[in-house]
């Protein structure tokens, strides 16, 4: 007799920069979430779907835990903390280290309270040896109840198939929650905005990219298939505007070219991309601006 189909929601949580979004993209086999070497890349929950013959996993990528320092980062932390009680299973992503920080400890308390099964993914296993990985697993096993610990490398694709099998085996029996072809419920417009934000994160230094938001204004397909996209790159200080534009417009051009390439790949068509740099003074502290940029609670949970 064949085994029953399993399905459910899985929150991907952990400290900022441990590789949660890279891991989710690797597990679903497509780049939906943006990633960067800078902390606090992911700002809101993002849902993707993995389906095979054994089951269906609805992944919920969340902002990484950090110490909040403005309204936006409070929203980000709350989004992550809340996610653990809205799912069937928690995928706790850590690095092969033995230090548990304050934010991570708070997350552990939340996870315990949520009472959901926890799988520990020790990511970046490519950067160290088995001994360090074992030490990390021991540390986290002492801190909370973990049903399985799986060392992986999201970057190199090591052990990620095994992680999929482990996740599915721990989900409840249940039907498909989404059509089997569904990869995400994100709109193309939202993914495009995120791609542009990723390029600002990867090209700009220090505080500047953390104060950037992107808003897509126009998204229009011509008869010949070319897609015209116009977007605002919003920065939080007058002094940042010149940095984003760069000498003779060189930085904005670089951000635009890199974004266009990724967007063309995503949409599988030619794209004409225009970026405008705007200043919205200290928008990360402004509830109205946060709301208009989509950094508010929307009901995107279980249907
Ligand atoms: N060496 C190595 N680097 C990795 C691995 N997975 C992710 N990274 C790198 O870690 C950095 C952070 O990756 P993200 O996926 O953006 O991390 P995140 O946990 O989603 O970060 P936040 O959204 O800020 O919470 C990037 O530079 C990745 O390339 C891995 O398995 N090995
Ligand atoms: Mg992320």
What's the CATH number where 256 sits?
A: 3.30.300.20
Instruction: Please tell me whether residues 23 and 123 are part of one structural domain.
Output: yes
Q: Which band of pLDDT confidence, cut at 50, 70 and 90, is reported for residue 296?
A: confident
Instruction: Please tell me whether residues 199 and 280 are part of one structural domain.
Output: yes
Q: Which band of pLDDT confidence, cut at 50, 70 and 90, is reported for residue 107?
A: very high
pLDDT of 301 reads 41
pLDDT of 299 reads 47
Distances (CA, A) of 12 to 31, 109, 131, 191, 209: 16, 16, 25, 19, 24
CA of 248 to the centre of ligand 2 (A): 32
Whether residue 303 is contained in a domain is answered as no
Is it the case that residue 300 has pLDDT exceeding 60?
no
Smallest-distance ligand from the CA of 23: 1
pLDDT of 302 reads 38
Whether residue 182 is contained in a domain is answered as no
pLDDT of 3 reads 85
Instruction: Please tell me whether residues 115 and 204 are part of one structural domain.
Output: no
Which residue's C-alpha comes closest to atom 6 of ligand 1?
19
Atom of ligand 1 nearest to the CA of 153: 31
Judge contact between 91 and 8, C-beta under 8 A: no
Q: What is the mean pLDDT of residues 252-263?
A: 98
- Pick from 23, 101, 88: nearest CA to 57: 88
Which residue's C-alpha comes closest to atom 16 of ligand 1?
35
Beta strands in the chain (DSSP E): 6-14, 46-51, 55-61, 89-94, 118-122, 148-151, 213-221, 227-235, 271-279
Judge contact between 18 and 151, C-beta under 8 A: no
Domain coverage including residue 237: 188-292
Cα dihedral across residues 240, 246, 248, 249: positive or negative: negative
Number of domains in the chain: 2
CA of 149 to the centre of ligand 1 (A): 19
Contacts of 246 (CB under 8 A, 6+ apart): 252, 253, 254
Q: Which band of pLDDT confidence, cut at 50, 70 and 90, is reported for residue 297?
A: confident
Instruction: Please tell me whether residues 67 and 39 are part of one structural domain.
Output: yes
Range name among 5-14, 64-73, 272-281, 289-298 with the lowest pLDDT average: 289-298
State whether residue 292 is helix, strand or coil. helix
CA of 192 to the centre of ligand 2 (A): 16
Is it the case that residue 172 has pLDDT exceeding 50?
yes
Looking at every residue in the chain, the average pLDDT score rounds to 95
Whether residue 302 is contained in a domain is answered as no
Whether residue 175 is contained in a domain is answered as no
Residues with CB under 6 A from ligand 1: 16-22, 35-37, 39-42, 63-64, 123-124, 126-127, 153-155
Is it the case that residue 258 has pLDDT exceeding 60?
yes
Judge contact between 188 and 266, C-beta under 8 A: yes
Domain end among 170, 201, 217 = 170
Smallest-distance ligand from the CA of 107: 1
Range name among 7-21, 46-60, 284-298 with the lowest pLDDT average: 284-298
- Locus of tokens 């984003």: 244
Which residue's C-alpha comes closest to atom 2 of ligand 1?
124
């Amino acid at each position: 007799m064949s085994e029953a189909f399993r399905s459910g929601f899985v929150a991907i949580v952990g400290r900022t920069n441990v590789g949660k979004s890279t891991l989710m993209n690797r597990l679903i086999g497509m780049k939906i979430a943006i990633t960067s070497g800078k902390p606090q890349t992911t700002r809101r929950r993002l849902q993707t779907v993995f389906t095979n013959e054994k089951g269906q996993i609805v992944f919920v990528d969340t902002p990484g835990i950090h110490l909040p320092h403005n309204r936006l980062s409070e929203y980000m932390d709350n989004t992550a903390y809340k996610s653990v009680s809205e799912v069937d299973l928690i995928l706790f992503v850590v690095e092969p280290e033995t230090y548990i920080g304050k934010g991570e400890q708070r997350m552990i308390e939340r996870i315990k309270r949520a009472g959901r099964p926890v799988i520990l993914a020790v990511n970046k296993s490519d950067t160290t040896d088995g001994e360090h990985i074992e030490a990390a697993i021991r540390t986290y096993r002492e801190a909370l109840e973990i049903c399985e610990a799986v060392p992986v490398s999201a970057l190199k694709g090591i052990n990620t198939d095994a992680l999929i099998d482990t996740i599915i085996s721990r989900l409840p029996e249940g039907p498909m929650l989404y059509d089997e072809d569904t990869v995400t419920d994100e709109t193309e417009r939202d993914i495009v905005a995120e791609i542009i934000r990723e390029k600002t994160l990867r090209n700009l230094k220090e505080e500047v990219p953390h104060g950037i938001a992107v808003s897509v204004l126009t998204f229009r397909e011509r008869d010949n298939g070319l897609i015209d996209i116009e977007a605002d790159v919003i920065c939080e200080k007058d002094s940042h505007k010149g940095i984003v534009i760069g000498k003779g417009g060189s930085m904005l051009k670089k951000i635009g070219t890199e974004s266009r390439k990724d967007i063309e790949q995503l949409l599988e068509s030619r794209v004409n991309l225009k970026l405008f740099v705007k200043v919205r003074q200290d928008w990360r502290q402004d509830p109205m601006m946060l709301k208009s940029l989509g950094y508010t609670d929307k009901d995107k949970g279980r249907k």
